Chains A and B, each alone.
Chain A
Amino acid sequence: MVRDLQEGDELIERAARALKVLPAADPRATARIVAAGRARRLHAPSHFTLFVEWLREPTLSFASAGFLAAAALVVGFVTRGAMSAIDEPVADLSVAHAAPLAVPVMTASGRNEARAVPVPIVFESSGARRVSVVGDFNNWDASVSPMKRIGTDGPWTATVFAKPGRHAYSFLVDDATLVADPRAPVARDLDYGGATSVLMVVAP
C-alpha cells in the first residue's frame, strides 16, 4: 500500500516537471500576433466612432445616464451665461424693472454702491382713481410703485426704494397724466421739457 503511494507520487512529480517546461514559441505565430496588434493600433476607432458604438449598445448604466444629464445641465448653464453676455444690455433692462433691493454691490475699486433706502411718498389728489410714483429710481415704470389711498378720500401713499443722491420723479395719475409733486422742489427737465420733482435721498 505504502509502495503504491510512493510510486504514485513519483509519477505525479515527473508529470509536473514535464508540464513546467514551456514548448518553444513558433516565431511565425509571434510575428502574426505582433503584426495584428500594430494594425489594430493603427486603425483604432475615433472618439466619434466609439460614441456611436456606445449609442448603439443595447444598455446604458445609470452612472452614464447621470453623467449625461449632468453634462447637459452644465452645458445649458454655460450656454445661458454666454447668451446673457451677448445680450447684456437687454438683460440689464429686465433686471432694471425688478423691484429695487437694498443690497450693496461691491465695485472693482472696493467702493460700495450705496444701498437703496425706503422713502415714503405722499400725494394728495381727491379726484384721482389710480396713482403711481414714477422716477429714475424705478425706471419710470408705473407698475413698480403703485400708490394706495388712505381711506376713501385720504392722501395716496407709497414707499419707493432709492439710493442716496438726487432723483427726478413724478406722479402718474389715472395712467395718463404726469403730475409734479406739489410738496417737493421742482426742476426743469432739460431733455424732455416740463417740470420734474426732485427728491434728495440721504443714507440713514
Chain B
Amino acid sequence: MMTFKSRSLVLLAGALVLSMFAARADAQDVAALTLIRDEATRDIVRSSLDRAHAVGLPIGPLLSKAFEGIAKKASARSIRDAMAGLEKRMRRANDLLAPDPTVDELAAGADALYVGVPDKTLRQMRTMAPRRSIALELGVLTELVARKVPPGRASQMVLELMARGASGAQLTAMSSAVQADVAAGIKPDVALDLRGRGVMSLLPPPPSAAVLQGRPH
C-alpha cells in the first residue's frame, strides 16, 4: 500500500519517463543537426530535407549529398543547389521507376539521369525487372556513360544483357573492362561493343520468338 506522497512520486516518475523519451528523440535530432557547424548550411539542409519529406522522398541520399558538400568544403549555396538538383532528379526517377522503387534504386536512378541516361531506359529497366532491385544495373549504366559511352548505346547494351540474364558480377566486370579500355585509349563505344560481346558469349542464347509464344520450334 502506498501513501499519497508515494502515489505522487509514481505520477512524477511517469511524467519523467515521458520527458526522457521525448528528450531522447530531441537529442538525436539536435545531435544530427549540430554535425553541420555552419548555421546557414544547417538551415539549408533542414529546409531541403523538410521539402523532400513533405513529398514523400527518402532523405538519405539528400543527406549524403549535403555531407559530401561539407566534406568537400563547398559553399552553402553549392550545397543548396546540389540538394535541389538531386531532389528534382529523384522525383523524376520515382516516376520512371514506379510503382515503388527502393531508396537505392532512386539514388542510382537519379545518378543515371544526371549523366544523361534517357528517361525511357529507366522505364524499360523497371519493366524488365519489376520484382527485383535494379540499383546495380543503373550503377553500371551510369558508369558507362560517365566513361563517355553514348547514353543510347550504353542503354541498349545494358538492356540487352539484362534480357539475356547477365549477372551483376558480369555487368560490373564489363563496366570495369570498358573503363580500363577507355583509359588505355580505346574509343568508349568500341570498348563497349567489344566487352559487351564478350559477356554475351558467356550467356545462353536469347529465347526465340517461337519459344516466347509457347510454340515448339
A contacts, CB < 8 Å to B? 55-62, 65, 68-69, 71-73, 75-77, 79-80, 83-84, 87-94, 96-97, 107-114, 134, 136, 139-142, 163-166, 168, 170, 172, 178, 185, 187-192, 194, 198, 200, 202-203
Contacts and interface: CB of A to CB of B under 8 A. Distances in A.
Interface in B1-22: 1-4, 6-7, 10-11, 13-15, 17-18, 20-22
B28 interface: yes
Contact of A187 (B102, B107, B146): B146
B17 A139 contact: no
A17 to B, nearest CB: 50
A166 B1 contact: no
Contacts of B175: 200
Interface stretch (B52-60, B186-194, B197-205): B52-60
Given A72-B17, A134-B71, A94 B31 contact: yes
B133 A191 contact: no
B132 interface: yes
A90 B32 contact: yes
B111 A166 contact: yes
B65 A165 contact: no
Contacts of A141: 67
Interface stretch (B117-125, B135-143, B150-158): B135-143
A136 B68 CA distance: 8
Given A111-B133, A113-B103, A90 B28 contact: yes
A72 B13 contact: yes
Contacts of B74: 191-192
Nearest to B59: A89
Given A93-B63, A107-B102, A198-B143, A192 B22 contact: no
B139 A166 contact: yes
Given A79-B22, A97-B32, A192 B131 contact: no
A79 to B, nearest CB: 6
Contact of A65 (B10, B20, B49, B71): B10
B95 interface: no
A192 B147 CA distance: 19
A51 to B, nearest CB: 11
Nearest to B135: A165
A91 to B, nearest CB: 6
A114 B175 CA distance: 20
Contacts of B32: 90-91, 93-94, 97
Given A76-B17, A80-B24, A192-B74, A140 B68 contact: yes
Contacts of A80: 21-22, 24-25
Given A65-B6, A89-B59, 9 more contacts: A61-B2, A62-B2, A75-B18, A89-B49, A163-B104, A185-B179, A191-B74, A192-B82, A200-B172
Contacts of B86: 191
A92 B21 contact: no
A182 to B, nearest CB: 13
A70 B121 CA distance: 55
A200 B176 contact: yes
27 contacts: A58-B4, A59-B3, A61-B1, A65-B10, A68-B10, A76-B14, A79-B18, A80-B24, A88-B59, A90-B32, A90-B33, A93-B29, A93-B33, A97-B32, A109-B99, A110-B131, A113-B133, A139-B67, A142-B71, A163-B135, A164-B136, A165-B136, A187-B143, A190-B114, A192-B82, A198-B146, A200-B175
Interface in B85-118: 85-86, 99-100, 102-104, 107-108, 111, 114-115
Contact of A69 (B6, B13, B52, B135): B13
Contact of B29 (A91, A96, A113, A185): A91
